């Protein structure tokens, strides 16, 4: 998968993994959720840009406060575990979930350093009546370059609230890619070793990335 496309896609994925600051009615509409949270997140980044430029670690704070409370990390992490879910203990899964959450926070914080006011066009909403899964399609406009098409996959919980758990960039699922990578490591090293690996990656400093 093209790294540049993935980086832009992951940047956009951070926009919809949270509904922490949104009204309850927004949580009940995945299409409104995407647009409202995108605006709120970008507004905060703009307000704190001077701080972020001096210390990129501030983006970790932004993600932890604005995104992490509403990331459906347990569902995504359980999907990553796949066949190893039943072979793990409740305590092992709890530790893996928390490590996966910290890994997501660090990953999204790093990706947010790519934000350079890219334009995002939201495709029209589709009928989701009676469905628990929805796809929100967007196009990323980068001047002088072909549009990048991204799909966000959201799931509705028992309370009727939507949350994103995957992103498909140019036909490639990020969750599927991570599942393949981490399941291979779990098979070779065990869930506890992979949990420690995720925590080690999460602890690394947030560095400014480049799309070039």
Cα–Cα nearest to 182, from 59, 88, 64: 88
Instruction: Report the pLDDT value the prediction gives residue 39, as an integer from 0 to 100.
Output: 67
pLDDT single digits (tens) 93-139: 999 999 999 988 888 788 777 666 667 778 888 999 889 999 888 77
Q: What is the pLDDT of residue 38?
A: 65
Q: What pLDDT score does 13 carry? A: 53
Residue 62 and residue 111 in contact, taking contact as beta carbons nearer than 8 Å:
no
Give the model's pLDDT for residue 48. 87
Q: Structural domains in the chain? A: 3-202 (3.10.450.710)
pTM (predicted TM-score)? 0.75
How far apart CA 62 and CA 112 sit, in angstroms, is 10
Name the DSSP letter for residue 131.
-
Long-range Cβ contact pairs of 142-149 (< 8 A, separation 24 or more): 142/8, 142/118, 148/5, 148/8, 148/9
In the chain, which stretches have pLDDT less than 70?
1-25, 37-39, 42, 67, 69-70, 114-118, 209-212
Integer CA distances (angstroms), 75 to 138, 143, 157, 166, 175, in order: 23, 36, 10, 10, 11
Quick one: pLDDT at residue 20?
Answer: 44
Of 104, 107, 122, which Cα lies nearest the Cα of 7?
107
Cβ–Cβ contacts within 10 Å for residue 130, how many? 5
Inter-residue contact 8 to 118 (CB < 8 Å): yes
């Amino acid at each position: 998968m093209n790294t540049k496309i993935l980086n832009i896609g992951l940047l956009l994925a951070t926009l919809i993994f949270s509904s922490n600051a949104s009204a309850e009615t927004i949580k009940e509409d995945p299409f409104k959720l995407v647009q409202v949270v995108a605006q709120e997140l970008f507004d905060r980044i703009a307000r704190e840009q001077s701080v972020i430029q001096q210390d990129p670690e501030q983006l970790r704070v932004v993600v932890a406060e604005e995104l992490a409370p509403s990331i459906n990390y347990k569902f995504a992490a359980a999907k990553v575990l796949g066949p190893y879910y039943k072979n793990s203990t409740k305590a092992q899964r709890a530790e893996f979930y928390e490590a996966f959450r910290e890994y997501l926070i660090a990953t999204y914080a790093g990706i947010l350093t790519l934000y350079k006011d890219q334009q995002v066009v939201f495709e029209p909403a589709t009928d989701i009546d009676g469905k628990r899964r929805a796809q929100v399609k967007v196009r990323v406009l980068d001047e002088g370059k072909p549009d990048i098409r991204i799909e966000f996959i959201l799931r509705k919980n028992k309370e009727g609230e939507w949350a994103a758990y995957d992103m498909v960039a140019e036909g490639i699922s990020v969750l599927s890619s991570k599942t393949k990578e981490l399941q291979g490591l779990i098979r070779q090293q065990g869930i506890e070793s992979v949990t420690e690996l995720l925590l080690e990656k999460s602890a690394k400093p947030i560095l400014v990335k480049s799309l070039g």
